[in-house]
Every structure is written in structure tokens, then in C-alpha cells.
Amino acid sequence: MSAVSGLLPTRSGSGFGRLGRVAGSPLLRLIVKRVVMAIPILFGVSVLTFWVLSLIPGDPARAMLGMNATDQQVEALRQQYGLDKSGPARYWDWLTGALHGDLGISMVSSQSMSSMLGDRWAVTAELVVLSFIVSLGVAVPVALLAARWPGGLFDRVSMVCSMTGLAVANYVLALLLVLVFAVELGWLPAIGYVHISDGIGGNLKSMILPTLAMAIPLFCFYTRFLRGDIVDQMQGEDYVDTARAKGVGPWRVLWSHAFRNSSFGLITIVGLNIGTLVGGTVIIEQIFALPGLGQLLLQGVNTRDTVVVQDLVIIFAAIAVLANLLVDVLYAVLDPRIRYGSH
Amino acid sequence: MAVIDASSAQLESAVVAAGAKPRGRWRAWMRTWIPAGTVIFILAICFLGPTVLPIPGATGGDVLESGQGPFSPGHLLGTDSNGNDVLSRLLSGGQASLLIGISVNVIGIVIGGTIGAVSAYVGGLFDTIVMRLLDVLIAFPSLVLTLAVAQSLGPSKRNTIFALAFFSVPAVARIARSSTLRLREMPFMQAAQLCGSPTWRILLRHVAPNVAPQLISFAALGMGIVIVTEGALSFLGLGIPAPAPSWGNMIFDGQQSMSATPLEVVWPSIALLVTVLAFNQLGENLRARWSGR
């Protein structure tokens, strides 16, 4: 690390003020350190995925063409996909391709991976972003209300509900929502996806149930975490007592003092969740027939399309790694102790 | 460091608080034993039920008896679309889920615990390498890695256990490592080292008993996660292969005819919910008890 910081001009004393301090070592050093740590993890993720998928017994080319194919056909396919090469050689081919933006060609549909990923990115991203907005948007007010009067009626009800909600598997919740809102009440479509270009209203309508199925367990998790953290802060922290002694109102202490501090923990939890959440899209997209990345992964698994599975597993893991990286950086940017290097 | 200080302070306050108020103690007792009792009940009924209770087998039902409602003669919860007894499938499915959950967590505690404790105790380069490798495993969203493993090994009970252990081991290893690091600074550990106890003896006699409570309470929480993920795998057709029942594939089967017979989805869902809830509560309360929160 010292080599990196040595390259950077340290301007803190030269009158650049805040900007100088931000560009100075602590924050940038932390960001560089996190990025450097993420690279070997991404490398390991891709190697492990390759290795796991090479455990498949038998010959994937033979499995794809079926028993009736001639040996020449199988051999041609093996050469086309580089299956005749050794594992490390195939990995090297994949890695150099991937770094140039070429993720290979599907073994089943013969389409290039990048064209297959195409629009699917947007569907999964929409689902994840909506789930975060809904879960956080509801969890913060509920947690604040619960923490305002700990042990009160609202607190108890919300804690019991969130405890139960945490124990519900998202696929069960999804089916339950379909049963109630699509089958019984008929308010919302049970499955299917309306593309955003066909009207934003229809698009959102088709996303309500999938979003709820993802957001409700998440909401329960955040509410419990935030409520517990805020209550701890309200009871034990000196700055809360100070604020109260100054005559700051209870809601203001809760919002601008306790919640502001708890939000750091919340960011960490959210970052850790992104991976799980993106993984959860696999089953939710399957249930609601949403044409996203998760659905493609499952298609790949069911058609034994090793290229698709391998690329998507690596993409999912990379999203999780990058999300954690982003959170670490965000954390550093937001926390003044790290920002000014006085930690 | 701050975390370590906080938890040891909590430990002390727990010692002081223990035996303070009789009403609080009764409550704590209830909080531990209601979920523990539920877990014991679920274990007992799933493992003993199919042999002790007068119910038909989980598979090989008569198609002519399919689709019977609850409380029909001989079938307390009715039959599914293949004519199999729902209650019987529920219990056998639970047996599979619990067996997988227990196996995965035992593997997690034994292998993950050993890796974490040894890594923290040995320290240095070994520790760094092990931790980086675990970082790689932890980076995978659990269902995604499990899907990849299940795809390459094919669906079966043993492969499901193997696939799920892939993410249980690194999680446990991390917990074991951080508790061992904390223990390493304690006087009794230094005393043991000064006495010349061999490393394996220190790990077995001093580290293991102190790390175990934390790992066990985590395993109770882990049971919930494993059972839900196993359900997801079976739901997707990559876990326990049909016709053998599991809660996941029962939910999937029920989903096909959900608008006509919603109860087929509801029964395994309730079983899943109650089981996960009981394990979650047990884990939370064990953790609260042992860390004195």
C-alpha cells in the first residue's frame, strides 16, 4: 500500500482544503486496497466455477448430441467448444475472451452469450432495485416507530410479524401471493413480464408480486436489525443523552442522531444482502416467468448448457463481490472517521 | 477489537444478570423451551411418525384415490394428485429435510470449525491463505453455487448435502476463526501453552469447548437456511428426485394445480414455516443466552 500512497501527491497541507484531504491518502488508499482485494476473489470465483462444472461426469458434447450422433460429429463439437483441450487451457481461453467482453457461445442455442444476456440484465436489475426500494422504504419508518416506544404495542406486533416473515421461504411467499392476489382476487397477473416499452404501468403491474415476494423477507430482516440497533443506541449512547439534555425532541433524536448512526450498519447489511438477493431472483423469476438472468441460469441448468451455467454463476458471484466492494467504498466516503483518516 | 470487548462485557453482565428476577428467568426459560420443544416434536413426529402412526406409505398410492380432501377416511390430510397420503408425504419429506439440514450443519461444524480454529490458532501465512479461499466461497450467492454443484453432480440426497455444505463450511469457519482469535489472548490459553500442551490438545480441550456454543447456536439458525435452500433446490427439481417426497417438491407439485387444490401447497408450506421458525427462534435464544444479550 505504501507504494500506492507514495505515488499520490499529498496535498493536505497546501491549502486545497477539503478536496485536498479527500484526494489525500486515507480514503483513496482504502478504495485502492478494497479493489486490489476484490480481484483475486473474482479470479478464485471463476476458477472454482470452472472446476465445479468440470466435475460433470461424462462428455458434455456426447450428452448434447445424444446417442445417435456419429463420433465425427461429437469430435467436431468438442473441437468447436475447446472440450478437447485441458482444463487450464480452456480456462485461459475463457478468461482472455471474458476480459475482452466475449463470454463464449451457448452450447444449446448457439447464440453468443452477450446477445443472450441482452435485455435480461434490465429485468433482474429492475427486480432487485424495486425490492430494495420497497423493503427499505417500509422498514425504516416501521423500525423508527417501533424503536420510539420499545416494548409498546406497535413494537411487539411488528417484531412478531417480522419474526414470522423471516421464516417464510420466498418461493412459498410467492405462491401465497399468487394464490391470493391473482387466483382468488384476480387483481394482478399471476405470471408474465410486460416490457417497459409497452407502458410503464403494465410493467410495474407485472412486477408487483415478484417484488413483494423478494421484498417482504428483506423488509422483516431490515426492520429487526434497525429496530434493535436504534434501541441499543437510544439506551446506551452518550450522544443521545447529550442531545436529550439539550432539549432535542424525541423524534429528532431518533431520526437525526440514532438513525444516522444506525444507517452505517444498515448499509453493511444491505451490501451483504445484494448477493443473496440476486441469487434469490433465480427462483422468483422462475415462478413468475420473468425473462431475467436467473431464468436463463435455470434454463442452462435444465438443458445442461455448461457455457451458460458457468458464465451466469460467475456473473452472479461477481455482482455479489462488486456490491460488497461498493458498500466498503460508500462506507468510507460516508464515515468521517475514515474520510479524514482519524480512525 | 471493539466487537471483542463488547461481547466480553456482555458476558460479564450476563453473569451478573443471571438469577436476577424470577419472572424474567421464567420468561427466558419459556423462550428457550417453546422453540426447543417444537423442534423436538417435529423431529419426533417426522422420524417416528411414519413407523408408529397408522398411515399409508409416502409413495405408491392408488391413482383412483387421488385428490381426496382432508379428513377423508384413512387420509387425515387427504391425498395428492397421485393418490399418495399427504400426511405421510409431509412426514417423510420432513425426514429428508431434517436429515439434510442436520448432515449439512454437522459437516459445517466439524470441517468448518476445524478449519476456522486451526487457521486462527496457527495464524500467519496459512491463516491468510485459508481466509482468502473462504472469501471466494462466501462470494457465491448460496442458491447459485448450489445450483451449479447440483447441475454437475445430478439430483440426489447425498449430492444435495454436498452442495449445501459448500456454503455452510466457510460461514462456520469464519465464526470459529473469530472466536478462536479472541480465545488466543485469554490467560488460560497462555497457561496451557506454557504448560507445554501439544497443539491438538489445546485445540481439543480448550478451544473446542469454548467455541462450541457459538457454533451450535449458529447451526440452529443455519438449519433454517439449509431447509429453505434444500426446499428451493427440490422445488426447482434439482434436490430430492421424485417420487420421493420433500417439502420443496411437494410445494412444486401442488403449484401445478394450485387454483383447484390450494391445500396441497399450503400443507408443506406450513410445515416449512413452523420448522424454520422454531429453529430460528431456538438459534436466536441460544445465542442470546450464551452471549448474555
Residue A277 has pLDDT above 70, yes or no: yes
Residue holding cell 457461445?
A105
What confidence score (pLDDT) does residue A3 get? 40
**Cross-chain Cβ contact A313/B259 below 8 Å:** no
Do A38 and A83 belong together in one domain? yes
Interface predicted TM-score (ipTM) over 0.85 = no
Do A49 and A194 belong together in one domain? no
Spatial contact of B117 and B176, defined as CB atoms under 8 Å apart: yes
| CATH code for the domain in which residue A250 is found | 1.10.3720.10
Per-chain mean pLDDT for chain A: 78
**Cross-chain Cβ contact A45/B139 below 8 Å:** yes
Residue A44 has pLDDT above 70, yes or no: yes
Closest residue on chain A to B237 (Cα): A302
Do A46 and A182 belong together in one domain? no
Per residue in B119-139, pLDDT (tens digit) is: 888 888 888 888 888 888 887
Percent of chain A with pLDDT over 70: 86
Do A192 and A167 belong together in one domain? yes
Give the count of Cβ contacts less than 8 A between chain A and B. Answer: 128
Distance CA(A4)–CA(A10), nearest Å, equals 12
Residue to test with chain A: of B132, B136, B246, most A Cβ within 10 A:
B136
| Chain B residues whose C-beta sits inside 8 Å of any chain A C-beta | 132-133, 135-137, 139-145, 147-154, 224, 228, 231-232, 235-238, 251, 255, 258-259, 262, 265, 269, 272-273, 276-277, 280-281
Dig out the grid coordinates for B151 from the structure.
447441475
Model confidence at B68, pLDDT cuts 50, 70, 90, reads: low
**Cross-chain Cβ contact B277/A175 below 8 Å:** no
Shortest distance between the Cα of B240 and any Cα of chain A, in A, equals: 15
Shortest distance between the Cα of B214 and any Cα of chain A, in A, equals: 20
Residue A323 resides in a domain: no
Tell me what the mean pLDDT of segment A54-76 comes to.
70
Do A136 and A80 belong together in one domain? no
**Cross-chain Cβ contact B148/A304 below 8 Å:** no
Which of A17-31, A229-243, A284-298 comes out lowest in average pLDDT?
A: A17-31
Model confidence at B111, pLDDT cuts 50, 70, 90, reads: very high
**Cross-chain Cβ contact A313/B147 below 8 Å:** yes
**Cross-chain Cβ contact B140/A298 below 8 Å:** no
A248: DSSP letter = -
* Residue A195 amino acid letter: H
Q: Where are the alpha helices (DSSP H) in B18-59?
A: 22-52
Domains detected in chain B: 32-52+79-290 (1.10.3720.10)
Most confident of A143-157, A322-336, B107-121: B107-121
Chain B residues in contact with A87 by the CB 8 A cut-off are none
Distances in Å between the Cα of A319 and the Cα atoms of A213, A227, A278, A314, B169 are 21, 28, 8, 9, 22
* Residue B171 amino acid letter: A
Chain B residues in contact with A309 by the CB 8 A cut-off are 147-148, 151
Residue to test with chain B: of A39, A47, A52, most B Cβ within 10 A:
A52
Residue with more model confidence, A64 or A12: A64
Do A311 and A299 belong together in one domain? no
Per residue in A171-219, pLDDT (tens digit) is: 888 888 888 887 778 777 777 777 777 777 777 778 888 999 989 988 9
Distance CA(B282)–CA(B276), nearest Å, equals 10
Shortest distance between the Cα of A131 and any Cα of chain B, in A, equals: 17
Do A160 and A92 belong together in one domain? no
Closest residue on chain B to A318 (Cα): B139
What confidence score (pLDDT) does residue B248 get? 84
Shortest distance between the Cα of B137 and any Cα of chain A, in A, equals: 7
Closest residue on chain A to B221 (Cα): A167
- CB nearest A282 (choices: B147, B153, B255): B147
Shortest distance between the Cα of B141 and any Cα of chain A, in A, equals: 5
**Cross-chain Cβ contact B151/A282 below 8 Å:** no
What confidence score (pLDDT) does residue B13 get? 44
What confidence score (pLDDT) does residue A134 get? 92
Dig out the grid coordinates for B169 from the structure.
463450511
Shortest distance between the Cα of A68 and any Cα of chain B, in A, equals: 23
- How many of the other CB atoms lie within 10 Å of CB of A93? 15
Do A270 and A209 belong together in one domain? yes
Distance CA(A69)–CA(A77), nearest Å, equals 11
Distance CA(A123)–CA(B234), nearest Å, equals 25
B243: DSSP letter = T
Residue A320 resides in a domain: no
**Cross-chain Cβ contact B148/A49 below 8 Å:** yes
Do A132 and A94 belong together in one domain? no
Tell me what the mean pLDDT of segment B21-44 comes to.
79
Residue A8 resides in a domain: no
Look up the pTM and report it. 0.78
**Cross-chain Cβ contact B140/A56 below 8 Å:** no
What confidence score (pLDDT) does residue B146 get? 80
Distance CA(A137)–CA(B268), nearest Å, equals 31
* Residue B235 amino acid letter: F
Model confidence at B292, pLDDT cuts 50, 70, 90, reads: low
Residue A335 resides in a domain: no
**Cross-chain Cβ contact B148/A179 below 8 Å:** no
Shortest distance between the Cα of B156 and any Cα of chain A, in A, equals: 14
Residue B4 has pLDDT above 50, yes or no: no
Residue with more model confidence, A117 or B104: B104
**Cross-chain Cβ contact B236/A172 below 8 Å:** no
Do A234 and A151 belong together in one domain? yes
Residue with more model confidence, A197 or B113: B113
Domain region containing A222: 114-303
Residue A17 resides in a domain: no
Residue A34 resides in a domain: yes
Do A209 and A238 belong together in one domain? yes
Do A34 and A172 belong together in one domain? no
- CB nearest A52 (choices: B152, B258, B272): B152
Q: Give chain A's domain count.
A: 2
Taking the CA atoms of A253, A255, A261 and A262 in sequence, report the sign of the dihedral they define: positive
Residue A31 resides in a domain: yes
Residue A126 resides in a domain: yes
Distance CA(A304)–CA(B82), nearest Å, equals 29
Which of A232-246, B75-89, B260-274 comes out lowest in average pLDDT?
A: B75-89
Chain A residues in contact with B249 by the CB 8 A cut-off are none
**Cross-chain Cβ contact B262/A183 below 8 Å:** yes
Chain A residues in contact with B237 by the CB 8 A cut-off are 302
**Cross-chain Cβ contact A179/B133 below 8 Å:** no
Residue B53 has pLDDT above 60, yes or no: yes
Shortest distance between the Cα of B119 and any Cα of chain A, in A, equals: 19
Distance CA(A148)–CA(A229), nearest Å, equals 12
Spatial contact of A287 and A174, defined as CB atoms under 8 Å apart: yes
Distance CA(A261)–CA(B156), nearest Å, equals 47
Per-chain mean pLDDT for chain B: 77
Per residue in B170-226, pLDDT (tens digit) is: 888 888 888 888 887 788 877 887 887 787 888 887 778 888 888 888 888 888 888
Per residue in B251-273, pLDDT (tens digit) is: 888 777 777 777 778 888 888 88
Tell me what the mean pLDDT of segment A116-125 comes to.
83
